[in-house]
A and B are shown apart, each in its own frame.
Chain A
Amino acid sequence: MQHRRQNGVKTSRRKMLDGLAVAIKNNISTTELPTTSSSHMLKEYNSPFDATVVKLLRNSGADIVGKANCDEFGMGSMNLHSIHGAVVNPFVPKVANPGSRHVKRSAGGSSGGSAAAVAAGMCYAALGTDTGGSTRLPASYCGIVGLKPSYGIISRWGVVSFADSLDCVGIFGGDVSAVQNIFNILSVYDERDPTAADVESRMTASRASQERMEQWSDDKGSLEGLRIGIPQEYFPAELAPEILEPVRRTIHGLRSAGATIIPVSLPSSSYALSAYYVIASAEASSNMARYDGVEYGFHVITPYGTDITKASNVYAQTRSVGFGEEVKKRILLGTYALTADAFDNYFLQAQRVRQLVKNDFNKAFAISDYLTNQAPSHSKMGVDVLLHPSAIGIAPPLEGERNDLDAYVQDVLTVPASLAGLPAISVPALVRNDGWPVGVSIVGQWGCDPMVMKVAEYIEKLRD
């Protein structure tokens, strides 16, 4: 009897995603399809194992329909740096300016393929990764929902490392409920990920988050009691005018529903982007060192006459051809940041900035950081979540003039949450019918993933 009931429970859980199509970013290991990471280096590479997240999806009955294009090893903001070519944003504006209709726009990066697959209706949900904004930015550009969970909540076992201290598995969905469904399946402790948050931290944070949510969420859709912080530093000079209006309307809608809107300051945010690029590139230079053409992947046969007494002469052949320009650029930057002379000024300085960014967030939130057990400095005054534009503009055109720096500036609003390891979700804001989508981001305290999804759900309702 008990056995049968257990079986019944199991079967119904198994069927949670039964038959639903899910796409997987190409830097997440799957046994059935190549895991190229969009790099020549792994063009022919088939992983001998499934990532934990892939295994969990399969166990839930999901249909893994394909691997999605991305920037090489996740490095990029526009999904331009890929051996599979650039990803075209599938969004079609309802009433478009006839002139701009045929301009191909970026789907964002680095998880552009995953976002585009969901936006084009090819799948129910998709997995991406998010190191500095790689899920939130494409979600914003493609008009879908994208979650970067709290660091350590979803297993990274099988995710090809770009920068381990920042890498998260991201979730895309057409709406918040799809993201919630996938999140519930993937947010389990995995002993194979040494950075996985322990069960106790998860439970404590989840309980605290739940308690807060019970204070403001009720059935009538009132947000009385919800405190939303608007960080002033997240409206920089580079912010495009077409972004501001939808963000304002979203804030207005939330306030009308009863939420309290509070201006806050996160003063260290302006240094976050520089710190992010130093840390991410340093870790990338280290993680890319394994691609030498010896154990697996692409290999260039050493030309006759090469001095093969030095391993570097042999490796250089493979690495010079196998890596794309953007990856090479970051390897060089990261290698420099780690040299003995630069280490203190760059790498260590960036780590100090990272701590300041974390402190800023902890000061703003009402809930404690249950991962590091830092109590909030003024919990009564603190906010539940922060709200800011996901990107400084709408999806940029794929062709045409581009300032080299533009691509890096795209990340300016998303990297602080990455540095602090916080959950952040980008959800489409109220856009007038003629325009390209604009995303707003909801950022919460560590472990408050359900809370940011809940707020995102309200924003979704405002849109209807």
Chain B
Amino acid sequence: MAVAALRNILKEWQVLIGIETHAQIKSSRKLFSGSLAAVPDDVHNSHVSLFDAAYPGTLPRLNHYCVDLALRTALALNCDVQRKSSFDRKHYFYPDLPSGYQITQQYQPLARNGFLEIASNSSSTLKKVGIKQIQLEQDTAKSTFNPRTRTSNIDLNRAGTGLMEIVSQPDIQSPEEAAAYVRTLQAVLRAVGSSDGNMEQGSLRCDVNVSINRPGEPPGTRCEIKNLNSVKFMVAAIGHEVIRQHGILTAPKDPSMSESPRVKQETRGFDEHQFETYSLRAKEEAPDYRYMPDPNLGVLVLSESRIQSIAESLPELPPAIRLRLQEKYALPERDVDVLLSIDSGRDVGFDGRPGTGGAIAYFDALCQGANTRGETASRKRDPKVVSNWMTHELLGQLTARKESFKVTAITAGQLGELIDLVQDGTITGTSGKFLLRHMLANPSHRPPLEIATELQMLAVSSEQSSSTSSTDLASPDAYLNELVEGAFNALPSEVAALRAGREGVLNKVVGWVMKQSRGRVDANKVKALVKQKVVKDS
């Protein structure tokens, strides 16, 4: 019902949405203290320096890895990087803030005036969403209240971790676009390695501003919905907020009131059980944060050469990857989609180091001819064949094993050699699939050829040259003949059916041969031989 109501409102009303995203910077250490940044499962209060706990006499020191990662983000979002920016203190008293202030960039942010292109639901072309600014700031600690003991427990692990606050312009016009914005932003952050962008684990959080107005009229009063921690909740919160504001604006006018109804500017929360927003505080109750330039950190001056070197080493962004996969490798769109979607699930490395488990890097390595010795370009491979093995065979088997691509035990070099073995006929396609399954189940660093030999999987035709062959047959053709003979003896009724012209039975006979050979013979050859024999014998 809500969906239909929303759809109807969107027909007559314009919705303006701005999103403030807090993305945790993927740095090994915190923004201003030397302590290692914590991950969600770490023991409470195990990543705390004296500065994090705001001990008297401690001073901040800016972690330049954080700056570099924020710069990558700024450049990826097409922002004007500010040659000079500065840090400010935002004051409030709360147990998650040991110093009583959060260091942020209120007055002079690191970057301004960028944009992010997202898929739009109203047109086939990409839509530009303006990025107002990007600022560096500290994350807070975590405090949890225990109602039974009436005490707050404070975990300082997160205190002082670097965040990027990425503020969009109110250019987003529907809940779907909001979802597309956040997902696209996540992909960009992961691509440049600046953040995990993981909403479930809290490394990406969104505050959303929503207002509605009739087309042609000025924007309505906006309400801010705080702390949305999944795309699903964000879409629901926006939907609820649009319906709520619409309800206020279209309510029958109260004759006793001189003014027409208005939306009150306020900060709202989202109830994850009721799927509704609720008022947190009115505009008048908004705290005065008493922003003050931080007297310790001074001005952050960025040289043109530093910005330039970040720009030159910027990892490839998703749109560019898409284009490259389509143009360089001529991959069909479906394969590109699959590769990009798996790639976005990879691990992001700390401090801008390349992450592991990336599908695009894996694919590139395969095409470039990676081998088990870690070398490349021994021989380039056909991208379509590679894509087929990756997106169908490898992913299919990983799915069957309930494993993600990230943790795959088979290296690009191994899979590459496996593909080579199939391509040059050393093993059959059937054997290749079996070998892949075997290698996933029994992870090792051994080359596939070695494993295939051990499993007696080498195709019969290729064993001619192998002096160590375990088969005692004089020639592969003789072996094939013998197998087909065997099939004719073992499956008399099927053979009779074949002779009677029932082609459908052919596969059963071929299957029997394949099974007996453990997939080591070429199915097409078997098929031809069986057909030939049926004709000849009849």
Contact code string B75-104 (vs A, CB < 8 Å = 1, else 0): 000000000000001010111001111000
Q: How far is the CA of A37 from the CA of B57 in the complex (A)?
A: 11
B298 within 8 A of A: yes
Asked if residues A156 and B53 are in contact (CB atoms below 8 Å), the reply is no
B154 contacts across to A, CB distance below 8 A: 294
Residues of A within 8 A of B297 (CB): 194
Q: How far is the CB of B505 from chain A (nearest CB, A)?
A: 78
Max count, chain A CB within 10 A of own CB: residue among B56, B58, B291: B56
In the complex, which residues 53-72 of chain B have their Cβ closer than 8 Å to any Cβ of chain A? 53-62
Q: Is A294's CB under 8 angstroms from B95's CB?
A: yes
A42/B62 in contact, CB under 8 A = no
With an 8 A cutoff between CB atoms, is A295 at the interface? yes
Chain-B contact segment, one of A217-225, A265-273, A285-293, A410-418: A285-293
Indicate whether B290 reaches chain A with its CB closer than 8 angstroms. Answer: yes
Judge if B296 is at the interface, Cβ distance under 8 Å: yes
Complex CA gap A165/B86 in Å reads: 15
A338 and B57 contact, CB distance less than 8 A: no
Q: When chains A and B are docked, how far (Å) is the Cα of A383 from the Cα of B100? A: 44
Cα A48 to Cα B93 in complex, Å, equals: 25
Q: CB of A17 within 8 A of chain B?
A: no
Chain B residues lying within 8 Å of A286, measured Cβ to Cβ, are 89, 91, 100-101, 290, 292
Given the known interface contacts A48-B50, A338-B290, the answer about A163 and B56 at a Cβ–Cβ threshold of 8 Å is: no
User: Would B59 and A193 count as touching, CB distance under 8 A?
Assistant: yes
With A290-B100, A294-B154, A295-B53 as given contacts, are A311 and B59 in contact (CB-CB < 8 Å)? no
CB of B136 to closest CB in A, whole Å: 15
* Contact between chains at A47 and B56 (CB < 8 Å): yes
Contact of A194 among B50, B54, B59, B290 (CB under 8 A): B59
Q: How far is the CB of A246 from chain B (nearest CB, A)?
A: 36
What chain B residues lie within 8 Å of A397 (beta carbons)? none
Question: Cα distance A362–B212 when bound, in Å?
Answer: 56
Q: Is the CB of A37 within 8 A of B56?
A: yes
Chain B residues near A192 (CB, 8 Å)?
59, 61
Complex CA distance for A48 and B48, rounded to whole angstroms: 14
Within 8 A of B (CB), among A143-196: 156-161, 163-165, 191-195
Q: B296 is contacted by which of A195, A311, A338 (Cβ under 8 Å)?
A: A195
B284 within 8 A of A: no
CA of A159 to CA of B58, assembled, Å: 8
A194 and B56 contacting across the interface, CB-CB below 8 Å: no
Q: Which of A49, A157, A311 has the most CB of B within 10 A?
A: A311
Question: What is the CA–CA distance of A35 and B288 in the complex, to the nearest angstrom?
Answer: 32
Cβ–Cβ < 8 Å partners of B50 in chain A: 48-49
Considering only residues 183-218 of chain B, those with a C-beta below 8 Å from chain A are none
Q: Say yes or no: A195-B298 contact (C-beta < 8 A), given A289-B99, A289-B100, A315-B93.
A: yes
Find out whether the CB atom of B101 lies under 8 angstroms from the CB atom of A157: no
Residue B150 CB within 8 A of the other chain: yes
Establish whether residues A159 and B292, one from each chain, have CB atoms under 8 Å apart when the complex forms: no
Known A-B contacts A48-B55, A283-B295, A339-B290; the reply to A194 vs B60 at CB < 8 A is yes
Q: Output the least CB separation between B61 and chain A (Å).
A: 5
> What 1/0 flags go to A336-349 for Cβ under 8 Å of B?
00111001000100
A159 to B89, CA, bound (A): 20
A312 in the interface, Cβ–Cβ < 8 Å?
Answer: yes
Interface string of A24-37 (1 = CB under 8 A from B): 00001100000101
CA A157 – CA B94 in complex, angstroms? 26
Specify the chain A residue showing the minimal Cβ separation from B294.
A164
Q: Which residue of A lies closest to B62 (CB)?
A: A194
Rounded to whole angstroms, the CA-CA distance of A158 and B56 in the bound complex is: 7
State whether B56 touches A338 (Cβ < 8 A).
no
Which residues of B128-175 are within 8 A (CB) of A? 150, 154
A290-B99, A315-B93 given; A308·B150 CB < 8 A: yes
Q: How far is the CA of A366 from the CA of B91 in the complex (A)?
A: 42
Considering the complex, which residues of chain A in the window 8-24 have a beta carbon less than 8 Å from any beta carbon of chain B? none
- Most A CB contacts (10 A, CB to CB) among B57, B150, B295, B296 go to B57
Q: How far is the CA of A160 from the CA of B91 in the complex (A)?
A: 19
CA distance A37 to B101 in the complex (A): 21
Give chain A interface residues in 287-336, CB to chain B under 8 Å.
Answer: 288-290, 292, 294-296, 308, 311-312, 315, 335
A282 at the B interface (CB under 8 A): yes
A51 contacts chain B at the CB level, 8 A cutoff = yes
- Rounded to whole Å, the gap between the CB of A269 and the closest CB of chain B is 22
Q: Give the residue of A37, A159, A290 whose beta carbon is less than 8 angstroms from that of B98.
A: A290
Contact B292 A283 (CB under 8 A): yes
Tell me, yes or no, whether A45 is within 8 Å of chain B by CB. Answer: yes
Residue of B nearest to A296 (CB): B55
Q: Are the C-beta atoms of B290 and A335 separated by less than 8 Å?
A: yes
CB distance from A233 to the nearest CB of B (A): 26
Q: With a CB–CB cut-off of 8 A, which chain B residues contact A288?
A: 100
Do A290 and B292 touch across chains, with their CB atoms under 8 A apart?
Answer: no
Could you say which residues of chain A place their CB within 8 Å of the CB of B150? 308
Contact of A158 among B57, B62, B93, B99 (CB under 8 A): B57
Alpha-carbon separation in the docked complex, A338 to B98 (Å):
20
Contacts of A47 in B (CB 8 A): 55-57
The verdict on A311 contacting B94 (CB below 8 Å), with A194-B298, A338-B291 known, is yes
When C-beta atoms are compared, the residue in chain B nearest to A282 turns out to be: B292
List chain B residues, Cβ under 8 A from A37.
56
Give chain A residues whose Cβ lies under 8 Å from the Cβ of B91.
286, 289, 338
| 20 pairs of residues in contact across A and B, judged by CB atoms under 8 Å | A28-B57, A49-B57, A51-B57, A157-B57, A160-B57, A161-B57, A194-B60, A194-B62, A283-B292, A286-B89, A286-B91, A286-B100, A289-B99, A289-B100, A290-B100, A294-B95, A295-B55, A295-B98, A335-B290, A338-B291
**Known contacts A283-B292, A286-B101; 7 further A-B pairs (Cβ under 8 A):** A49-B57, A160-B56, A194-B62, A286-B91, A290-B98, A292-B98, A295-B98
